[in-house]
Amino acid sequence: MPIEVRLDPERRWVVAEGHGVVSLEDMLRYQQDVWSRPDVAGWDELVDMSDVREAVAPTAARMQELAARAVSMDHASEGSRLAIVAPQHEFFGLARMYEAYRGLAGHSTKQVAVFRDRGEAAVWLAGGAGHDTGTSGAE
Q: What is the CATH number for 39?
A: 3.30.750.24
pLDDT tops 70 at residue 126:
yes
Tell me, yes or no, whether 97 lies in a domain.
yes
The residue among 40, 95, 56 whose CA lies nearest residue 31 is: 40
Higher pLDDT, 74 or 88: 88
Tell me, yes or no, whether 121 lies in a domain.
yes
Tell me, yes or no, whether 73 lies in a domain.
yes
**Domain count for the chain:** 1
Tell me, yes or no, whether 51 lies in a domain.
yes
pLDDT tops 80 at residue 6:
yes
Query: In DSSP terms, which residues pair with 80 in a beta bridge?
Result: 110
Contacts of 38 (CB under 8 A, 6+ apart): none
Average pLDDT of span 70-77: 81
pLDDT score, position 86: 96
Q: Which helix (H) or strand (E) holds 30?
A: helix 24-35
Tell me, yes or no, whether 130 lies in a domain.
no
Tell me, yes or no, whether 132 lies in a domain.
no
pLDDT tops 50 at residue 99:
yes
Q: Which domain holds residue 102?
A: 3-125
Question: pLDDT tens, 8-62?
Answer: 999 999 999 999 999 988 998 999 999 999 999 889 999 999 999 998 867 888 8
The residue among 109, 103, 100 whose CA lies nearest residue 60 is: 100
pLDDT score, position 129: 54
pLDDT tops 60 at residue 68:
yes
Quick one: how far is CA 5 from the chain centroid?
Answer: 12
Tell me, yes or no, whether 104 lies in a domain.
yes
Tell me, yes or no, whether 88 lies in a domain.
yes
